[in-house]
Chain A
Amino acid sequence: MTAISTSGLTKRFRGGQLAVDHIDLAVPLGSVYGFLGPNGSGKTTTIRMLLGLAYPTSGTASLLGVPMPDGATTVLHRVGSLVEGPAFYPFLAGADNLARYDAADRTADPATARARITEALDRVGLLAAAKKRYRHYSLGMKQRLAIAAGLLRPRELIILDEPTNGLDPQGTREVRALIRQIAADGTTVFVSSHLLAEVEQICTHVGVMRTGKLVFQGSLPELRRTGASRVSVQTADPEAAAKVLTGLGLADAQATEAGDVQAGDAQAGASAILGDASPEQVCAELVQAGIGVRGFAVVSPSLEDLFVGLTGEGFDVSG
Protein backbone atom coordinates (compact mmCIF):
# COMPACT_ATOMS: atom_id res chain seq x y z
CA MET A 1 0.00 0.00 0.00
CA THR A 2 1.13 3.53 -0.70
CA ALA A 3 0.29 6.62 1.31
CA ILE A 4 -0.81 8.44 -1.83
CA SER A 5 -1.23 7.06 -5.28
CA THR A 6 -2.81 8.57 -8.35
CA SER A 7 -3.28 7.23 -11.82
CA GLY A 8 -3.75 9.51 -14.78
CA LEU A 9 -5.06 12.18 -12.42
CA THR A 10 -6.22 15.10 -14.54
CA LYS A 11 -7.94 18.40 -13.86
CA ARG A 12 -9.17 20.64 -16.60
CA PHE A 13 -10.67 23.90 -15.39
CA ARG A 14 -13.93 25.14 -16.79
CA GLY A 15 -12.02 27.68 -18.86
CA GLY A 16 -10.33 24.77 -20.62
CA GLN A 17 -6.96 25.17 -18.95
CA LEU A 18 -5.27 21.87 -18.16
CA ALA A 19 -4.09 22.41 -14.56
CA VAL A 20 -3.07 18.83 -13.84
CA ASP A 21 -2.20 16.56 -16.73
CA HIS A 22 -2.27 12.80 -16.21
CA ILE A 23 -0.04 12.52 -13.19
CA ASP A 24 0.84 9.21 -11.54
CA LEU A 25 1.97 9.89 -8.00
CA ALA A 26 3.34 7.12 -5.80
CA VAL A 27 4.16 8.26 -2.29
CA PRO A 28 5.62 5.41 -0.22
CA LEU A 29 4.43 4.95 3.37
CA GLY A 30 6.84 6.48 5.83
CA SER A 31 8.47 8.76 3.29
CA VAL A 32 8.89 12.49 3.40
CA TYR A 33 7.82 13.39 -0.10
CA GLY A 34 8.70 16.78 -1.50
CA PHE A 35 6.14 17.86 -4.10
CA LEU A 36 8.02 20.48 -6.04
CA GLY A 37 7.27 22.86 -8.83
CA PRO A 38 6.98 26.55 -9.60
CA ASN A 39 3.87 28.47 -8.59
CA GLY A 40 1.07 27.63 -10.98
CA SER A 41 2.43 24.22 -11.92
CA GLY A 42 -0.62 22.39 -10.53
CA LYS A 43 0.57 21.41 -7.05
CA THR A 44 -2.30 22.93 -5.11
CA THR A 45 -4.91 21.68 -7.58
CA THR A 46 -3.47 18.18 -7.16
CA ILE A 47 -3.65 18.49 -3.37
CA ARG A 48 -7.24 19.72 -3.60
CA MET A 49 -8.12 16.64 -5.60
CA LEU A 50 -6.29 14.36 -3.16
CA LEU A 51 -8.35 15.80 -0.31
CA GLY A 52 -11.65 15.56 -2.18
CA LEU A 53 -12.10 19.34 -2.34
CA ALA A 54 -11.97 19.35 -6.13
CA TYR A 55 -13.15 16.56 -8.37
CA PRO A 56 -10.80 15.19 -11.03
CA THR A 57 -11.75 15.53 -14.68
CA SER A 58 -10.36 12.06 -15.21
CA GLY A 59 -8.06 9.59 -13.48
CA THR A 60 -8.11 8.24 -9.96
CA ALA A 61 -6.51 9.02 -6.63
CA SER A 62 -6.30 7.18 -3.36
CA LEU A 63 -5.14 8.07 0.13
CA LEU A 64 -3.88 5.25 2.37
CA GLY A 65 -5.41 2.81 -0.08
CA VAL A 66 -8.87 4.41 0.03
CA PRO A 67 -10.17 5.85 -3.24
CA MET A 68 -10.87 9.59 -3.25
CA PRO A 69 -13.09 11.55 -3.34
CA ASP A 70 -15.63 8.78 -2.59
CA GLY A 71 -13.78 7.67 0.53
CA ALA A 72 -13.38 11.20 1.92
CA THR A 73 -15.44 10.66 5.04
CA THR A 74 -13.80 7.33 5.84
CA VAL A 75 -10.14 8.21 5.36
CA LEU A 76 -9.61 11.95 5.82
CA HIS A 77 -9.62 11.76 9.63
CA ARG A 78 -6.40 9.76 9.30
CA VAL A 79 -4.93 12.57 7.21
CA GLY A 80 -3.85 15.96 8.49
CA SER A 81 -3.65 18.78 6.00
CA LEU A 82 -2.68 22.34 5.32
CA VAL A 83 -4.05 23.59 2.01
CA GLU A 84 -3.18 26.91 0.42
CA GLY A 85 -2.35 28.72 3.60
CA PRO A 86 -4.03 28.73 7.00
CA ALA A 87 -7.72 29.61 7.34
CA PHE A 88 -9.50 30.14 10.64
CA TYR A 89 -12.27 32.26 12.16
CA PRO A 90 -10.67 35.62 12.93
CA PHE A 91 -13.03 36.31 15.83
CA LEU A 92 -12.19 33.07 17.65
CA ALA A 93 -9.15 32.40 19.80
CA GLY A 94 -6.55 29.88 18.61
CA ALA A 95 -7.75 27.08 20.90
CA ASP A 96 -11.41 27.75 20.03
CA ASN A 97 -10.55 27.54 16.35
CA LEU A 98 -9.03 24.11 16.87
CA ALA A 99 -12.07 23.08 18.93
CA ARG A 100 -14.28 24.11 16.03
CA TYR A 101 -12.48 21.84 13.56
CA ASP A 102 -12.37 19.04 16.10
CA ALA A 103 -16.13 19.32 16.66
CA ALA A 104 -16.70 18.86 12.95
CA ASP A 105 -14.88 15.51 13.08
CA ARG A 106 -17.45 12.83 13.78
CA THR A 107 -14.79 10.30 14.75
CA ALA A 108 -13.00 12.54 17.25
CA ASP A 109 -13.58 11.80 20.92
CA PRO A 110 -15.09 14.88 22.58
CA ALA A 111 -13.87 13.73 25.98
CA THR A 112 -10.24 14.11 24.96
CA ALA A 113 -10.71 17.23 22.82
CA ARG A 114 -9.31 19.66 25.35
CA ALA A 115 -6.22 17.56 26.02
CA ARG A 116 -5.60 16.98 22.33
CA ILE A 117 -5.95 20.69 21.53
CA THR A 118 -3.53 21.60 24.29
CA GLU A 119 -1.05 19.02 23.07
CA ALA A 120 -1.29 20.18 19.46
CA LEU A 121 -0.79 23.81 20.47
CA ASP A 122 2.13 22.79 22.62
CA ARG A 123 3.75 20.92 19.75
CA VAL A 124 3.78 23.99 17.56
CA GLY A 125 4.72 26.31 20.42
CA LEU A 126 1.46 28.23 20.54
CA LEU A 127 0.29 27.29 24.01
CA ALA A 128 0.92 30.80 25.28
CA ALA A 129 -1.28 32.24 22.52
CA ALA A 130 -4.11 29.72 22.94
CA LYS A 131 -6.58 32.32 24.20
CA LYS A 132 -5.51 35.04 21.79
CA ARG A 133 -7.86 35.82 18.91
CA TYR A 134 -6.68 34.49 15.55
CA ARG A 135 -7.09 38.02 14.16
CA HIS A 136 -4.12 39.11 16.26
CA TYR A 137 -1.82 36.24 15.25
CA SER A 138 1.31 36.92 13.22
CA LEU A 139 1.76 35.16 9.89
CA GLY A 140 4.10 32.61 11.43
CA MET A 141 1.65 31.90 14.26
CA LYS A 142 -1.18 31.41 11.76
CA GLN A 143 0.91 28.93 9.83
CA ARG A 144 1.76 27.05 13.01
CA LEU A 145 -1.87 26.99 14.11
CA ALA A 146 -2.74 25.41 10.78
CA ILE A 147 -0.13 22.73 11.38
CA ALA A 148 -1.53 22.25 14.88
CA ALA A 149 -4.95 21.61 13.33
CA GLY A 150 -3.32 18.86 11.31
CA LEU A 151 -1.92 17.36 14.49
CA LEU A 152 -5.17 17.28 16.50
CA ARG A 153 -5.22 13.53 16.17
CA PRO A 154 -2.59 10.91 15.47
CA ARG A 155 -2.32 10.90 11.68
CA GLU A 156 -0.90 8.39 9.26
CA LEU A 157 -0.36 11.00 6.60
CA ILE A 158 0.16 14.75 6.71
CA ILE A 159 -0.28 16.85 3.59
CA LEU A 160 1.32 20.27 3.82
CA ASP A 161 0.86 22.71 0.98
CA GLU A 162 3.63 25.32 1.04
CA PRO A 163 3.95 25.25 4.84
CA THR A 164 6.79 27.77 4.82
CA ASN A 165 5.11 30.30 2.55
CA GLY A 166 5.60 33.80 3.86
CA LEU A 167 7.71 32.71 6.81
CA ASP A 168 11.01 34.31 7.76
CA PRO A 169 14.13 32.10 7.81
CA GLN A 170 13.66 31.42 11.51
CA GLY A 171 10.04 30.35 10.95
CA THR A 172 11.05 28.22 7.99
CA ARG A 173 13.61 26.44 10.16
CA GLU A 174 11.00 25.82 12.85
CA VAL A 175 8.56 24.33 10.36
CA ARG A 176 11.31 22.13 8.97
CA ALA A 177 12.14 20.88 12.46
CA LEU A 178 8.47 20.19 13.05
CA ILE A 179 8.20 18.18 9.83
CA ARG A 180 11.26 16.14 10.85
CA GLN A 181 9.63 15.46 14.18
CA ILE A 182 6.35 14.39 12.58
CA ALA A 183 8.20 12.10 10.19
CA ALA A 184 10.20 10.63 13.06
CA ASP A 185 6.90 9.45 14.56
CA GLY A 186 6.36 7.32 11.47
CA THR A 187 3.86 9.65 9.80
CA THR A 188 4.16 9.98 6.03
CA VAL A 189 4.67 13.61 5.10
CA PHE A 190 3.70 15.04 1.71
CA VAL A 191 5.01 18.57 1.52
CA SER A 192 4.71 20.90 -1.45
CA SER A 193 7.06 23.75 -2.13
CA HIS A 194 8.23 25.91 -4.99
CA LEU A 195 11.68 26.01 -3.42
CA LEU A 196 13.80 22.90 -3.53
CA ALA A 197 16.19 24.32 -0.94
CA GLU A 198 13.40 24.44 1.66
CA VAL A 199 12.65 20.74 1.55
CA GLU A 200 15.85 19.23 0.18
CA GLN A 201 17.25 18.56 3.64
CA ILE A 202 14.18 16.74 4.94
CA CYS A 203 12.87 14.81 1.93
CA THR A 204 13.46 11.19 1.13
CA HIS A 205 11.53 11.39 -2.14
CA VAL A 206 10.59 14.14 -4.56
CA GLY A 207 8.09 14.66 -7.32
CA VAL A 208 8.64 17.57 -9.66
CA MET A 209 5.75 19.29 -11.42
CA ARG A 210 5.97 21.47 -14.48
CA THR A 211 2.89 22.99 -16.11
CA GLY A 212 0.62 20.28 -14.79
CA LYS A 213 2.88 17.35 -15.58
CA LEU A 214 4.91 15.24 -13.19
CA VAL A 215 8.31 15.49 -14.85
CA PHE A 216 10.25 13.52 -12.23
CA GLN A 217 9.45 11.24 -9.34
CA GLY A 218 11.83 9.23 -7.21
CA SER A 219 14.25 9.31 -4.31
CA LEU A 220 16.79 12.11 -3.98
CA PRO A 221 19.72 9.86 -5.04
CA GLU A 222 17.69 8.94 -8.10
CA LEU A 223 17.23 12.61 -8.90
CA ARG A 224 20.96 13.16 -8.50
CA ARG A 225 21.71 10.33 -10.90
CA THR A 226 19.69 12.03 -13.62
CA GLY A 227 22.26 14.80 -13.67
CA ALA A 228 25.22 14.16 -15.97
CA SER A 229 28.68 15.19 -14.73
CA ARG A 230 30.60 17.37 -17.13
CA VAL A 231 34.31 17.80 -17.73
CA SER A 232 35.35 21.38 -17.96
CA VAL A 233 38.68 22.55 -19.39
CA GLN A 234 40.16 26.01 -19.10
CA THR A 235 42.24 26.84 -22.09
CA ALA A 236 43.15 29.65 -24.44
CA ASP A 237 41.96 27.57 -27.36
CA PRO A 238 38.33 26.61 -26.65
CA GLU A 239 37.41 25.59 -30.19
CA ALA A 240 40.26 23.12 -30.53
CA ALA A 241 39.57 21.73 -27.06
CA ALA A 242 35.89 21.23 -27.89
CA LYS A 243 36.90 19.41 -31.07
CA VAL A 244 39.13 17.07 -29.08
CA LEU A 245 36.32 16.38 -26.59
CA THR A 246 33.95 15.56 -29.44
CA GLY A 247 36.64 13.40 -30.97
CA LEU A 248 36.79 11.42 -27.71
CA GLY A 249 33.11 10.65 -28.14
CA LEU A 250 31.88 12.98 -25.39
CA ALA A 251 28.39 14.39 -25.89
CA ASP A 252 27.35 18.03 -25.90
CA ALA A 253 30.82 19.53 -26.27
CA GLN A 254 30.69 23.31 -26.01
CA ALA A 255 33.32 25.98 -26.40
CA THR A 256 33.16 29.04 -24.19
CA GLU A 257 34.95 32.22 -25.30
CA ALA A 258 36.59 34.48 -22.75
CA GLY A 259 34.21 37.10 -21.47
CA ASP A 260 31.19 34.99 -22.35
CA VAL A 261 29.46 35.50 -19.06
CA GLN A 262 26.90 32.80 -19.57
CA ALA A 263 26.95 30.39 -16.64
CA GLY A 264 28.93 32.94 -14.75
CA ASP A 265 32.48 32.05 -15.80
CA ALA A 266 34.51 34.47 -17.78
CA GLN A 267 37.22 31.93 -18.37
CA ALA A 268 37.69 30.66 -21.89
CA GLY A 269 37.37 26.92 -22.17
CA ALA A 270 35.34 23.95 -23.25
CA SER A 271 33.08 21.46 -21.57
CA ALA A 272 31.25 18.24 -22.36
CA ILE A 273 29.26 15.50 -20.66
CA LEU A 274 31.72 13.07 -19.13
CA GLY A 275 29.62 9.96 -19.54
CA ASP A 276 31.61 6.75 -19.08
CA ALA A 277 34.95 8.26 -20.03
CA SER A 278 37.63 8.55 -17.39
CA PRO A 279 38.62 12.12 -16.59
CA GLU A 280 42.32 11.16 -16.42
CA GLN A 281 42.25 9.88 -19.97
CA VAL A 282 40.36 12.93 -21.23
CA CYS A 283 42.94 15.21 -19.66
CA ALA A 284 45.82 13.19 -21.16
CA GLU A 285 44.23 13.24 -24.61
CA LEU A 286 43.80 17.01 -24.44
CA VAL A 287 47.43 17.53 -23.53
CA GLN A 288 48.49 15.05 -26.23
CA ALA A 289 46.48 17.04 -28.79
CA GLY A 290 48.53 20.06 -27.90
CA ILE A 291 45.85 21.96 -26.00
CA GLY A 292 47.29 24.20 -23.34
CA VAL A 293 45.32 23.09 -20.30
CA ARG A 294 45.13 25.79 -17.63
CA GLY A 295 42.55 24.07 -15.49
CA PHE A 296 40.60 20.85 -15.54
CA ALA A 297 37.57 19.85 -13.47
CA VAL A 298 34.71 17.37 -13.26
CA VAL A 299 31.52 19.17 -12.26
CA SER A 300 28.40 17.45 -10.90
CA PRO A 301 25.22 19.52 -11.13
CA SER A 302 23.68 20.58 -7.84
CA LEU A 303 20.15 19.46 -7.02
CA GLU A 304 19.13 23.05 -7.58
CA ASP A 305 20.52 22.92 -11.14
CA LEU A 306 18.65 19.68 -11.78
CA PHE A 307 15.48 21.15 -10.34
CA VAL A 308 15.73 24.26 -12.48
CA GLY A 309 16.53 22.04 -15.46
CA LEU A 310 13.28 20.18 -14.85
CA THR A 311 11.02 23.11 -14.10
CA GLY A 312 12.52 25.85 -16.24
CA GLU A 313 14.00 29.14 -15.08
CA GLY A 314 12.33 31.30 -12.48
CA PHE A 315 9.71 33.34 -14.25
CA ASP A 316 9.31 31.02 -17.16
CA VAL A 317 5.89 29.79 -16.08
CA SER A 318 4.28 28.38 -19.16
CA GLY A 319 0.52 28.15 -19.42
Chain B
Amino acid sequence: MSAGRFYASELRLVLLRRRNLLLLAVTAVFPLIIGIALRLAAPRPEGGDGGSGLAFFNQLAGNGVFLTFIALSTLLVLVLPVVVAVVAGDSVAGEAGYGTLRYLLAVPAGRTRLLAVKYGVIVTFALCATFIVSAVALAAGAALFPVGPVTLLSGTTVSLAAGLLRLLFVTLYVTAAMAALGAIGLAISTLTEHAIGAIATLMILVVTSEVIDNVPQLHAAGPYLPTHWWLSFDSLLRVPVDTSTLLRGLLSFAVYAVLFGSFAWARFTSADVTS
Protein backbone atom coordinates (compact mmCIF):
# COMPACT_ATOMS: atom_id res chain seq x y z
CA MET B 1 0.00 0.00 0.00
CA SER B 2 1.14 3.48 -0.92
CA ALA B 3 4.50 2.35 -2.27
CA GLY B 4 3.58 4.75 -5.04
CA ARG B 5 3.54 7.59 -2.56
CA PHE B 6 7.04 6.80 -1.34
CA TYR B 7 8.24 6.49 -4.94
CA ALA B 8 6.64 9.83 -5.82
CA SER B 9 8.25 11.45 -2.79
CA GLU B 10 11.65 10.03 -3.75
CA LEU B 11 11.25 11.11 -7.36
CA ARG B 12 10.30 14.62 -6.29
CA LEU B 13 13.27 14.75 -3.97
CA VAL B 14 15.65 13.75 -6.79
CA LEU B 15 14.04 15.71 -9.62
CA LEU B 16 13.64 18.92 -7.65
CA ARG B 17 17.23 18.99 -6.37
CA ARG B 18 18.79 21.98 -8.05
CA ARG B 19 21.96 20.00 -8.70
CA ASN B 20 20.08 17.25 -10.55
CA LEU B 21 18.02 19.74 -12.55
CA LEU B 22 21.25 21.39 -13.59
CA LEU B 23 22.63 18.05 -14.72
CA LEU B 24 19.56 17.42 -16.86
CA ALA B 25 19.82 20.92 -18.29
CA VAL B 26 23.46 20.33 -19.21
CA THR B 27 22.47 17.03 -20.78
CA ALA B 28 19.92 18.89 -22.88
CA VAL B 29 22.40 21.52 -24.01
CA PHE B 30 24.96 19.04 -25.37
CA PRO B 31 22.91 17.80 -28.37
CA LEU B 32 22.26 21.43 -29.28
CA ILE B 33 25.95 22.28 -29.22
CA ILE B 34 26.87 19.16 -31.19
CA GLY B 35 24.16 19.90 -33.76
CA ILE B 36 25.20 23.50 -34.25
CA ALA B 37 28.88 22.59 -34.43
CA LEU B 38 28.24 19.93 -37.04
CA ARG B 39 26.01 22.28 -39.04
CA LEU B 40 28.76 24.89 -39.11
CA ALA B 41 31.50 22.43 -40.07
CA ALA B 42 29.78 20.43 -42.79
CA PRO B 43 30.74 16.77 -42.41
CA ARG B 44 33.28 15.49 -44.89
CA PRO B 45 32.45 11.97 -45.99
CA GLU B 46 35.69 10.00 -45.95
CA GLY B 47 34.58 6.44 -46.26
CA GLY B 48 36.94 3.69 -45.17
CA ASP B 49 36.66 2.00 -41.84
CA GLY B 50 35.48 4.27 -39.14
CA GLY B 51 33.76 3.63 -35.84
CA SER B 52 30.02 3.67 -35.69
CA GLY B 53 30.31 7.28 -34.54
CA LEU B 54 31.93 8.20 -37.85
CA ALA B 55 29.25 6.31 -39.74
CA PHE B 56 26.62 8.41 -38.01
CA PHE B 57 28.46 11.57 -38.93
CA ASN B 58 28.42 10.59 -42.59
CA GLN B 59 24.68 10.09 -42.46
CA LEU B 60 23.92 13.32 -40.66
CA ALA B 61 24.26 15.65 -43.62
CA GLY B 62 21.51 13.68 -45.30
CA ASN B 63 19.19 13.31 -42.34
CA GLY B 64 18.76 15.27 -39.09
CA VAL B 65 17.49 12.17 -37.28
CA PHE B 66 21.08 10.97 -37.09
CA LEU B 67 21.91 13.79 -34.73
CA THR B 68 20.15 11.71 -32.05
CA PHE B 69 22.52 8.76 -32.56
CA ILE B 70 25.53 11.06 -32.65
CA ALA B 71 24.41 12.77 -29.46
CA LEU B 72 23.69 9.50 -27.66
CA SER B 73 27.01 7.91 -28.63
CA THR B 74 28.94 11.05 -27.71
CA LEU B 75 27.23 11.57 -24.37
CA LEU B 76 27.49 7.88 -23.49
CA VAL B 77 31.24 8.24 -23.09
CA LEU B 78 31.06 10.52 -20.08
CA VAL B 79 28.07 12.81 -19.68
CA LEU B 80 25.27 10.28 -19.28
CA PRO B 81 27.35 8.08 -16.94
CA VAL B 82 28.10 11.13 -14.79
CA VAL B 83 24.42 12.05 -14.62
CA VAL B 84 23.49 8.53 -13.55
CA ALA B 85 26.47 8.25 -11.20
CA VAL B 86 25.49 11.41 -9.32
CA VAL B 87 21.99 10.17 -8.59
CA ALA B 88 22.93 6.53 -7.99
CA GLY B 89 25.98 7.29 -5.87
CA ASP B 90 23.98 9.75 -3.80
CA SER B 91 20.99 7.44 -3.36
CA VAL B 92 21.84 5.67 -0.11
CA ALA B 93 25.12 7.38 0.81
CA GLY B 94 23.45 10.79 0.65
CA GLU B 95 20.73 9.72 3.09
CA ALA B 96 23.39 8.25 5.37
CA GLY B 97 25.35 11.49 5.17
CA TYR B 98 22.35 13.60 6.15
CA GLY B 99 21.43 11.09 8.85
CA THR B 100 17.98 10.79 7.30
CA LEU B 101 18.60 7.11 6.59
CA ARG B 102 18.12 6.15 10.24
CA TYR B 103 14.87 8.09 10.39
CA LEU B 104 13.56 6.59 7.16
CA LEU B 105 14.27 3.13 8.56
CA ALA B 106 12.67 4.03 11.89
CA VAL B 107 9.53 5.28 10.10
CA PRO B 108 9.69 2.33 9.06
CA ALA B 109 10.32 2.51 5.33
CA GLY B 110 11.56 -1.10 5.27
CA ARG B 111 15.08 -1.77 4.07
CA THR B 112 14.16 -3.76 0.96
CA ARG B 113 11.38 -1.36 0.07
CA LEU B 114 13.65 1.65 0.49
CA LEU B 115 16.26 0.09 -1.77
CA ALA B 116 13.65 -0.82 -4.40
CA VAL B 117 12.26 2.72 -4.40
CA LYS B 118 15.78 4.15 -4.64
CA TYR B 119 16.59 1.95 -7.63
CA GLY B 120 13.26 2.70 -9.28
CA VAL B 121 14.03 6.40 -9.11
CA ILE B 122 17.59 5.92 -10.41
CA VAL B 123 16.18 4.11 -13.47
CA THR B 124 13.51 6.78 -13.91
CA PHE B 125 16.15 9.48 -13.78
CA ALA B 126 18.32 7.62 -16.32
CA LEU B 127 15.24 7.31 -18.54
CA CYS B 128 14.63 11.06 -18.26
CA ALA B 129 18.25 11.83 -19.15
CA THR B 130 18.41 9.58 -22.22
CA PHE B 131 15.03 10.70 -23.53
CA ILE B 132 15.99 14.33 -23.04
CA VAL B 133 19.09 13.72 -25.16
CA SER B 134 17.06 12.00 -27.89
CA ALA B 135 14.26 14.57 -27.85
CA VAL B 136 16.53 17.60 -27.91
CA ALA B 137 18.77 16.03 -30.55
CA LEU B 138 15.77 15.16 -32.68
CA ALA B 139 14.40 18.69 -32.45
CA ALA B 140 17.80 20.23 -33.15
CA GLY B 141 18.42 17.77 -35.99
CA ALA B 142 15.10 18.63 -37.59
CA ALA B 143 15.81 22.33 -37.29
CA LEU B 144 19.35 22.20 -38.62
CA PHE B 145 19.29 19.42 -41.22
CA PRO B 146 16.88 17.95 -43.73
CA VAL B 147 14.57 15.26 -42.39
CA GLY B 148 13.08 12.42 -44.36
CA PRO B 149 13.15 8.67 -44.87
CA VAL B 150 16.06 7.26 -42.90
CA THR B 151 18.94 5.54 -44.67
CA LEU B 152 20.28 3.02 -42.17
CA LEU B 153 23.92 2.05 -41.70
CA SER B 154 23.38 -1.06 -43.82
CA GLY B 155 22.31 1.15 -46.70
CA THR B 156 18.64 0.29 -46.56
CA THR B 157 16.22 3.16 -46.46
CA VAL B 158 13.21 3.01 -44.17
CA SER B 159 10.34 5.43 -43.71
CA LEU B 160 10.73 8.29 -41.23
CA ALA B 161 8.19 6.65 -38.93
CA ALA B 162 10.13 3.38 -38.96
CA GLY B 163 13.32 5.37 -38.35
CA LEU B 164 11.79 7.08 -35.33
CA LEU B 165 10.61 3.74 -33.97
CA ARG B 166 14.21 2.54 -34.18
CA LEU B 167 15.26 5.72 -32.37
CA LEU B 168 12.83 4.83 -29.59
CA PHE B 169 14.41 1.39 -29.26
CA VAL B 170 17.90 2.86 -29.31
CA THR B 171 16.95 5.26 -26.51
CA LEU B 172 15.49 2.40 -24.49
CA TYR B 173 18.65 0.34 -25.07
CA VAL B 174 20.79 3.21 -23.79
CA THR B 175 18.45 3.53 -20.80
CA ALA B 176 18.99 -0.16 -20.08
CA ALA B 177 22.74 0.40 -20.17
CA MET B 178 22.39 3.29 -17.74
CA ALA B 179 20.04 1.30 -15.51
CA ALA B 180 22.73 -1.38 -15.17
CA LEU B 181 25.26 1.32 -14.29
CA GLY B 182 22.74 2.64 -11.77
CA ALA B 183 22.65 -0.75 -10.04
CA ILE B 184 26.42 -0.68 -9.67
CA GLY B 185 26.14 2.85 -8.28
CA LEU B 186 23.44 1.79 -5.84
CA ALA B 187 25.64 -1.04 -4.56
CA ILE B 188 28.61 1.30 -4.06
CA SER B 189 26.30 3.78 -2.38
CA THR B 190 25.38 1.29 0.35
CA LEU B 191 29.03 1.03 1.35
CA THR B 192 29.64 4.58 2.46
CA GLU B 193 28.05 7.66 3.93
CA HIS B 194 29.99 9.96 1.62
CA ALA B 195 27.94 10.47 -1.53
CA ILE B 196 30.81 12.15 -3.33
CA GLY B 197 33.02 9.14 -2.70
CA ALA B 198 30.43 6.78 -4.15
CA ILE B 199 29.97 9.00 -7.22
CA ALA B 200 33.71 9.26 -7.80
CA THR B 201 34.22 5.52 -7.36
CA LEU B 202 31.55 4.77 -9.94
CA MET B 203 33.07 7.21 -12.43
CA ILE B 204 36.53 5.75 -11.95
CA LEU B 205 35.00 2.35 -12.63
CA VAL B 206 33.40 3.61 -15.86
CA VAL B 207 36.58 5.23 -17.13
CA THR B 208 38.71 2.22 -16.19
CA SER B 209 36.30 -0.07 -18.01
CA GLU B 210 36.37 2.15 -21.09
CA VAL B 211 40.16 2.27 -21.07
CA ILE B 212 40.53 -1.49 -20.71
CA ASP B 213 37.99 -1.94 -23.48
CA ASN B 214 40.25 0.08 -25.78
CA VAL B 215 43.47 -1.80 -25.05
CA PRO B 216 43.89 -4.37 -27.85
CA GLN B 217 45.96 -6.69 -25.62
CA LEU B 218 43.04 -6.93 -23.20
CA HIS B 219 40.62 -7.73 -25.97
CA ALA B 220 39.48 -10.95 -24.31
CA ALA B 221 38.15 -9.09 -21.28
CA GLY B 222 36.08 -6.76 -23.43
CA PRO B 223 32.69 -8.49 -23.50
CA TYR B 224 32.65 -8.76 -19.72
CA LEU B 225 33.21 -5.07 -19.07
CA PRO B 226 30.23 -3.03 -17.90
CA THR B 227 30.71 -0.41 -20.62
CA HIS B 228 31.52 -2.75 -23.54
CA TRP B 229 28.02 -3.04 -24.98
CA TRP B 230 26.87 0.52 -24.47
CA LEU B 231 27.47 1.63 -28.07
CA SER B 232 26.11 -1.56 -29.59
CA PHE B 233 22.83 0.19 -30.21
CA ASP B 234 24.04 0.69 -33.77
CA SER B 235 22.90 -2.91 -34.29
CA LEU B 236 19.39 -1.50 -34.32
CA LEU B 237 20.27 0.67 -37.29
CA ARG B 238 20.85 -2.18 -39.69
CA VAL B 239 18.65 -4.40 -41.78
CA PRO B 240 18.36 -7.04 -40.63
CA VAL B 241 18.81 -5.96 -37.01
CA ASP B 242 21.87 -7.57 -35.46
CA THR B 243 19.87 -9.20 -32.68
CA SER B 244 22.65 -11.41 -31.35
CA THR B 245 24.84 -8.41 -30.46
CA LEU B 246 21.83 -6.60 -29.08
CA LEU B 247 20.79 -9.51 -26.91
CA ARG B 248 24.31 -10.04 -25.64
CA GLY B 249 24.35 -6.37 -24.67
CA LEU B 250 21.02 -6.59 -22.89
CA LEU B 251 22.14 -9.81 -21.19
CA SER B 252 25.28 -8.07 -19.97
CA PHE B 253 23.17 -5.20 -18.56
CA ALA B 254 20.79 -7.63 -16.88
CA VAL B 255 23.63 -9.62 -15.32
CA TYR B 256 25.26 -6.47 -13.98
CA ALA B 257 21.96 -5.15 -12.66
CA VAL B 258 21.06 -8.41 -10.92
CA LEU B 259 24.55 -8.98 -9.57
CA PHE B 260 25.01 -5.54 -8.11
CA GLY B 261 21.35 -5.20 -7.15
CA SER B 262 21.70 -8.39 -5.10
CA PHE B 263 24.92 -7.17 -3.57
CA ALA B 264 23.27 -3.88 -2.61
CA TRP B 265 20.35 -5.76 -1.08
CA ALA B 266 22.52 -8.22 0.84
CA ARG B 267 24.67 -5.44 2.17
CA PHE B 268 21.87 -3.00 2.99
CA THR B 269 19.61 -5.48 4.74
CA SER B 270 22.38 -6.89 6.93
CA ALA B 271 24.56 -3.92 7.86
CA ASP B 272 24.12 -1.76 10.94
CA VAL B 273 23.10 1.79 10.17
CA THR B 274 25.64 3.81 12.10
CA SER B 275 25.21 7.19 10.47
Contacts and interface: CB of A to CB of B under 8 A. Distances in A.
A72 interface: yes
A51 B106 contact: yes
Given A53-B106, A73-B110, A103-B8, A85 B99 contact: yes
A225 interface: no
A92 B17 CA distance: 10
A246 B87 CA distance: 75
Interface stretch (A104-112, A166-174, A278-286, A304-312): A104-112
Question: Does more than half of chain A's interface fall in helix, strand or loop, or is it mixed?
Answer: loop
A107 B107 CA distance: 10
Task: Give the size category of A's interface with B.
Answer: 20 to 34
Q: Count chain B CB atoms within 10 A of each CB in A52, A76, A103, A104 and give the residue with the most.
A: A104
A48 B102 CA distance: 9
B17 to A, nearest CB: 7
Interface residues of B, number: 28
Contacts of A89: 13, 98, 100
Contacts, number: 88
A103 B103 contact: no
B193 to A, nearest CB: 12
Given A73-B110, A85-B99, A110-B2, A53 B8 contact: no
B9 A103 contact: yes
A84 interface: yes
Contacts of B6: 103-104, 106
B143 interface: no
18 contacts: A48-B273, A52-B108, A53-B273, A54-B272, A72-B108, A73-B110, A77-B107, A81-B103, A83-B102, A83-B106, A87-B99, A90-B98, A92-B13, A103-B5, A103-B8, A103-B9, A104-B6, A104-B114
Interface of B: 1-3, 5-6, 8-9, 13, 17-18, 98-100, 102-110, 113-114, 270, 272-274
